[in-house]
Structure 1
Amino acid sequence: MANDHAEPKGGMSRRSVLGLAGIAAGALALAPRQSAAASGHSRSIADRILLNGKFTTLDAARPQVEAVAVRDGRIVGTGSSREVTRSWLGTGTEVVDLEGRRVIPGLIDSHAHPIRAGLSHTLELDWSHVRSVNEALSSLRQHASAAQEGQWVRVVGGFSKYQFREQRLPTLAEINAAVPDVPVFVLHLYDRALLNRAAVNRLGLTADTPTPNGGWIERDAAGNPTGLLVAQPDAAILYGTIAQMPVLDATGQELSTRRYFSRLNAYGITGAIDAGGGGMVWPDSYRIVDGLHERNELTLRLAFHGFPRPGHDYEDLARYVNELPLDSTDPMLKSNGVGEVLVFSALDFEDFFQPRPELPAVMESQLEPALRLLVENNVPFRIHATYDESIKRVLKVLETVRRDVPGYNRRWIVDHAETATRSTLDRIAALGGSISVQHRMVYQGVAFAERYGTEAALHSPPIGDMIAAGVPWAAGTDSTRASGDSPWTALWWLVTGKVYGGARLLGREHRVSRIEALRAWTGGGAWMTSEEDSKGRIAPGYHADLAVLNADYFSVNEDMIPEIRSDLTMVAGRIVHGAGRFTHLAPPPVTDEAVAATLTAAAAGGSVNNGNPFQDASSWTCAC
């Protein structure tokens, strides 16, 4: 694979628009002639041609090309710029000069929560690029100064204290000094939340507020809550707090979702496998994306999983088996099965700041009927499992069910698997499973190493062993709470093994090359949705999903990889994002004015203030 991203021989040099105009004019004169090398289809006029690029296609037949032709949302031709224009250029073809930029297949996040994130994106403050405590506090002050009555300032995960120069979180005293009057909520991964005094008062937390089962409340000498909420033994207290905050109305959720999907498009993401998440119930939680899809306004291909409610695990799974469109072939929005939680007793909370949780003794008796239901009905599924100890117990149940019920032929996924051992990976391979790997160690790797040792961190997750065991794998983020949503941070980690805090934790045998990492972020996700024959490559017949990068992923310094973005992103042949010289090709953005109006409506909704916002915390238990 060493030459997968080598420059194509005999290709065009970087040329001017005038030079391209000459090529186009000449190509029009020769239009009836066709280059078989440039096309796998009979001759027709392309809707759009992208010229003068450095395309990494991931297509073994033509790994590097200079140009592509697109028609009806699919790639119809690839080759040199001269070949493609000669074969596909017509009077109605739009020609885009890429001026030598690197182009890759559209990125596919194999495990994320974009549908949930979209519903509240415009209500939240992003700390993913903040690099100091002072910068974090300044952002809180800035947003609080613009907040209307009833609004909160909320940072809902997606960052780590290790990304700050100080290697610590802001203190409660610092947050209270920065923003004394507007409620502030700062979620640090699924570890803890910091609330200022205004937020404590808004929620009605007092010395009489009982501590919920899913967490604990720090109190002062008088028993009054200080504003620190800790997820121990699970994240129920954090979910319970988020559930009390104002929400957007339907109009606001739609604008928020469109803006969030545009953010993902700006990274070069063209698809995601949505893993559900706490509070997400099909079909109600999916009406916004359904509406966007019906109006052909989705800018992201989505494959989602039905997620059960705590206490209703089997009931919801049975309903999903009967009602989810499991065999849909819709290329933009489809169900990919159920999960990532099947039963909540099998959920091992992945907070590396806390000791590994031991799954309860009832887990097997609750998981067995759920798995039997899915296997008997041949339903694809994914299951959250962080620790080897948990995965072994899950596999024992699945092995029993599979022996009893032969013929299961769906693709199924283990999510996370940071500490899976080689013997466990061999068992997953024997059962036809796969693994979705995320870069959660970037955010929690230092805490993991402090708790389990540097040697254990070198093998977490054991990507090299997955490959050796023959387990199909794909990459993702687990965004937006347990980690950030940038695929470029995830690619940086896969290639370098580096984490926030400065350490290179992942061992050399578990790192991969840049081209292998890119495959995990493209074809890997396509495989997990059984669409590897139509997504994940730039090749004739495949969906025209691609990203034109602002820097060459294959040649930039490794520590510059996280800064890469897309200058032009295409989904189904439609340009959904444009930046720099391609800004004029982008669709109109969601305006700040439109968003502001929806925030006013959300603030007017208020929040619960009953002195015990955690009385139903168990119904929110999930670190997803």
Structure 2
Amino acid sequence: MSTMVFYNGPIYTLDPEQPVVRALAIRHGRIIALGSEGRVQASVAGQRGETINLRGRALVPGLTDAHVHIIQQGLTLREVNLAGITSLKDAQRLIAERAATLPPDAWLRGSGWNHLAWGQSWPTRADLDAVCPDRPVVLTRKDGHSLWVNSRALALAGVTATTPHPEGGQIQRNRNGEPTGILIETAMELVRAVVPPLSEEERLDALRAALREALSYGLTSVHVVPGPNHATGPEVLRDLQTLRARGELSLRALVYFAPPDLEGVIHMGLRSGFGDPWLRLGGLKLFADGSLGSESAEMLSHYEGRRHVGIATIEPEVLDATIRYANSHGICVAVHAIGDAANRKVLQALEHALADREALGEAAPPLALPNRIEHVQVIHPKDLPRLAELGVIASMQPIHCTSDIEAAEALWGARCAYAYAWRSILESGATLAFGSDAPVESMNPWLGIHAAVTRQRPNGWPEEGWYAEQCLSVEEALRAYCCGPALASGEAQCKGQLQIGALADFTVLTGDPFRSKPYELHALTAAMTIVGGKVQFE
């Protein structure tokens, strides 16, 4: 493999010892030199290779999406995508258009709908029956925690007025007790159980599409997590291995698994961190509650104007026992927790697991990856210090903040003061690892960086930023997409910062994030993405 030299920077390393250099050299997939142009050129003199003139464009470490549903993201390009649709009428039009293109016996699938953008009233099966009465329709809400289905899908699943609510879920009903067509949390499985599974090639095509998109933004790694109620299971790891065997895995992946796979993983003797620099085993993904938009995030007190506190999707005793069991076998956990009550319960369980390991001392199996909480959207101020005290990664998605402003204010009220609290979490000593939650939101990390720095939408609203005291600097936001995920994956020694010996994963940008105006950050993207020393996108 020849040597490549990138010069005429600036090159932002995120290494405090050498934060900005003008050139770097790579060979065999690793960084072998960085510094001034003269010093780097001299260090590789006589070696066969090529030089790439950055022409003043900024180069930064490869970004990581620390929370993505990768197959679902790829599927958004082939199914009905209702993201951004602002009225029920427009949603019905897109559904009808898609239905007209499908074979007679095919299910109509899709995602991205947000009833809060339609006036806050839930849609119904009648709304779907009006435009698609003859084929089953299953549409996932943008947060992945609710399904909207038509009468045909309910009939195929056998869901009627007498069907009981499953534990940890809800079947919405009208005044007559009939299902409305909205299934929340575990109730989604009643219909999903009868939806025909995707074929291997359909999944692989979706993966390829999602990986191409990720590279176009400058992402060089992803942390892949299962969706609610185990949507996408072990086939994700299997499919990524298939792409690897075919030479098509173009970026690095850390893959988390769902509870049904825990015993098998332990029986095989696998532990978190198993694998190689391209494909590694993460840990166990759990769900402690639901979501804001579905009003199923578990809160310490009632939602504003409501008489409920959301849904605990797992009993506290089961949550506690599962985390302790996984950690005792060298398996880290990543626990979805949105509401302040859910975050408190998860922290308590993680504290118990840590105490178990401390009691065992050297007899405890190594935990190569830290435990994480996914989202941490609302955390009570009294619980804030516990993240750092327990060594828990705060895996958050900044784009949720600006996307959720209206819903958060309507449903959480004054609690918004400690929602999406990145500045408070960072100053408490905890580590931030940022991601997208795609396809819930866009996979584009520059939209996330813009949201983290400004707490505004790309149109500049709200003018002063929403709870602007929680804004981050550009460097802090970039670290949360580079260094934080590297810590979360147990790879801080070779990823996140540009240093000699580190993996040659980086991106050349269309602009300079450190010289751009904050309101310009969302427009940045990759001009070139290099993974393992190979140009994967240009």
TM-score range, shorter chain: 0.7 to 0.9
Hey, what does 2:241 align to over in structure 1? 290
Post-superposition Cα deviations, 1:276-319, rounded to whole Å, max 9, x if no partner, equal 3333676444211111223332112111223113xxxxxx5343
1:347-362, aligned counterparts within 5 Å?
Answer: 347-354=288-295, 356=298, 357=309
1:325-364, aligned counterparts within 5 Å?
Answer: 325-328=271-274, 330-341=276-287, 347-354=288-295, 356=298, 357=309, 363-364=315-316
Match of 1:300 among 239, 251, 257: 251
Match of 2:431 among 469, 472, 475: 472
The answer to whether the Cα contact below 8 Å between 2:271 and 2:331 also exists between their aligned partners in 1 is no
Larger Rg, first or second structure (1 or 2) = 1
- Aligned in 2, Cα 1:170/1:61: closer, same or farther, shift over 3 Å? same
Hey, what does 2:170 align to over in structure 1? 215
Hey, what does 1:187 align to over in structure 2? 140
Post-superposition Cα deviations, 1:62-121, rounded to whole Å, max 9, x if no partner, equal 322333322111122223445444443667423333333222211112222225655x45
Structure 1 residue 447, shift from structure 2 partner: 1.2
Hey, what does 2:31 align to over in structure 1? 75
Q: Given residue 383 of structure 1, which amino acid in structure 2 is its aligned partner? A: V
TM-score by length of 1: 0.71
1:484 equivalent to 2:442? Answer: yes
The answer to whether the Cα contact below 8 Å between 1:318 and 1:373 also exists between their aligned partners in 2 is no
Hey, what does 1:319 align to over in structure 2? 264
Match of 2:408 among 436, 448, 452: 448
Helix, strand or coil for the counterpart of 1:215? strand
Q: Which moved more, 1:541-550 or 1:183-192?
A: 183-192
- Aligned in 2, Cα 1:60/1:154: closer, same or farther, shift over 3 Å? same
Q: Distance in 1 between matches of 2:529 and 2:121?
A: 36
Q: Distance in 1 between matches of 2:311 and 2:124?
A: 33
1:266 equivalent to 2:211? Answer: no
The answer to whether the Cα contact below 8 Å between 2:259 and 2:286 also exists between their aligned partners in 1 is no
Structure 1 residue 238, shift from structure 2 partner: 3.4
Helix, strand or coil for the counterpart of 2:254? strand
- Aligned in 2, Cα 1:125/1:571: closer, same or farther, shift over 3 Å? farther
Q: Distance in 2 between matches of 1:495 and 1:188?
A: 27
Q: Distance in 2 between matches of 1:299 and 1:385?
A: 31
Post-superposition Cα deviations, 1:402-461, rounded to whole Å, max 9, x if no partner, equal 4344136632112222221333122232222221112333333311211221x3213212
- Aligned in 2, Cα 1:265/1:201: closer, same or farther, shift over 3 Å? same
The answer to whether the Cα contact below 8 Å between 2:157 and 2:190 also exists between their aligned partners in 1 is no
Hey, what does 1:572 align to over in structure 2? 532
1:412 equivalent to 2:363? Answer: no
Structure 1 residue 575, shift from structure 2 partner: 1.7
Q: Distance in 2 between matches of 1:320 and 1:571?
A: 29
Hey, what does 2:302 align to over in structure 1? none
- Aligned in 2, Cα 1:156/1:335: closer, same or farther, shift over 3 Å? same
The answer to whether the Cα contact below 8 Å between 2:68 and 2:439 also exists between their aligned partners in 1 is yes
Q: Which moved more, 1:544-553 or 1:101-110?
A: 544-553
Q: Distance in 2 between matches of 1:175 and 1:205?
A: 18
Hey, what does 1:531 align to over in structure 2? 491
The answer to whether the Cα contact below 8 Å between 1:428 and 1:434 also exists between their aligned partners in 2 is yes
1:73-472, aligned counterparts within 5 Å?
Answer: 73-88=29-44, 92-114=48-70, 117-118=73-74, 120=75, 123-128=78-83, 139-140=94-95, 143-157=98-112, 160=114, 184-189=137-142, 190=144, 192-195=146-149, 200=153, 203=156, 210=163, 212-213=165-166, 214-217=169-172, 228-231=181-184, 235-277=185-227, 278-279=229-230, 283-309=234-260, 316-323=261-268, 324-328=270-274, 330-341=276-287, 347-354=288-295, 356=298, 357=309, 363-406=315-358, 407=361, 410=367, 411-439=370-398, 440-453=400-413, 455-472=414-431
Structure 1 residue 160, shift from structure 2 partner: 4.5
Q: Which moved more, 1:380-389 or 1:494-503?
A: 494-503
Match of 1:510 among 464, 470, 481: 470
Which structure 1 residue ranges, 5 or more long, are not aligned? Answer: 1-44, 310-315, 342-346, 579-624
Structure 1 residue 399, shift from structure 2 partner: 3.2
Q: Distance in 1 between matches of 2:206 and 2:161?
A: 37
**Higher normalized strand content (fraction of residues):** 2
Q: Distance in 1 between matches of 2:505 and 2:277?
A: 12
The answer to whether the Cα contact below 8 Å between 2:128 and 2:150 also exists between their aligned partners in 1 is yes
Post-superposition Cα deviations, 1:522-542, rounded to whole Å, max 9, x if no partner, equal 010001111111111223211
Structure 1 residue 567, shift from structure 2 partner: 2.2
Q: Given residue 436 of structure 1, which amino acid in structure 2 is its aligned partner? A: S
Helix, strand or coil for the counterpart of 2:197? coil
Q: Given residue 337 of structure 1, which amino acid in structure 2 is its aligned partner? A: G
Match of 1:552 among 502, 512, 515: 512
Q: Distance in 2 between matches of 1:52 and 1:542?
A: 21
Q: Given residue 321 of structure 1, which amino acid in structure 2 is its aligned partner? A: I
Structure 1 residue 497, shift from structure 2 partner: 1.4
- Aligned in 2, Cα 1:401/1:521: closer, same or farther, shift over 3 Å? closer
Helix, strand or coil for the counterpart of 2:222? strand
TM-score by length of 2: 0.82
Post-superposition Cα deviations, 1:6-45, rounded to whole Å, max 9, x if no partner, equal xxxxxxxxxxxxxxxxxxxxxxxxxxxxxxxxxxxxxxx8
Q: Distance in 1 between matches of 2:235 and 2:436?
A: 25
Q: Given residue 387 of structure 1, which amino acid in structure 2 is its aligned partner? A: G
- Aligned in 2, Cα 1:167/1:402: closer, same or farther, shift over 3 Å? closer
Post-superposition Cα deviations, 1:311-338, rounded to whole Å, max 9, x if no partner, equal xxxxx53432342353525111111222
Q: Distance in 1 between matches of 2:386 and 2:221?
A: 29
Q: Distance in 2 between matches of 1:133 and 1:559?
A: 31
Q: Given residue 56 of structure 1, which amino acid in structure 2 is its aligned partner? A: Y
Structure 1 residue 49, shift from structure 2 partner: 2.7
Structure 1 residue 59, shift from structure 2 partner: 2.0
Q: Given residue 512 of structure 1, which amino acid in structure 2 is its aligned partner? A: L
Q: Distance in 2 between matches of 1:143 and 1:448?
A: 32
Q: Given residue 220 of structure 2, which amino acid in structure 1 is its aligned partner? A: T
Structure 1 residue 187, shift from structure 2 partner: 2.7
The answer to whether the Cα contact below 8 Å between 2:81 and 2:110 also exists between their aligned partners in 1 is yes
Q: Given residue 265 of structure 2, which amino acid in structure 1 is its aligned partner? A: Y
Which structure 2 residue ranges, 5 or more long, are not aligned? Answer: 299-308
Q: Given residue 239 of structure 2, which amino acid in structure 1 is its aligned partner? A: I
Structure 1 residue 543, shift from structure 2 partner: 0.9
Structure 1 residue 196, shift from structure 2 partner: 5.8
Q: Distance in 2 between matches of 1:505 and 1:515?
A: 18
The answer to whether the Cα contact below 8 Å between 1:381 and 1:413 also exists between their aligned partners in 2 is yes
Helix, strand or coil for the counterpart of 1:541? coil
- Aligned in 2, Cα 1:173/1:49: closer, same or farther, shift over 3 Å? farther
Helix, strand or coil for the counterpart of 1:340? strand
Helix, strand or coil for the counterpart of 1:336? strand
Higher relative contact order (CA 8 A, sep 6+): 1
Post-superposition Cα deviations, 1:116-147, rounded to whole Å, max 9, x if no partner, equal 655x4554244546677787666546544543
Structure 1 residue 350, shift from structure 2 partner: 2.0
- Aligned in 2, Cα 1:301/1:168: closer, same or farther, shift over 3 Å? farther
Q: Which moved more, 1:291-300 or 1:492-501?
A: 492-501
Determine what percentage of the aligned residue pairs are the same residue.
25
Q: Distance in 2 between matches of 1:473 and 1:325?
A: 23
User: What value does the CA root-mean-square deviation take over the aligned residues?
Assistant: 3.7
Helix, strand or coil for the counterpart of 1:290? helix
Q: Which moved more, 1:330-339 or 1:56-65?
A: 56-65
Q: Which moved more, 1:568-577 or 1:271-280?
A: 271-280
- Aligned in 2, Cα 1:459/1:295: closer, same or farther, shift over 3 Å? same
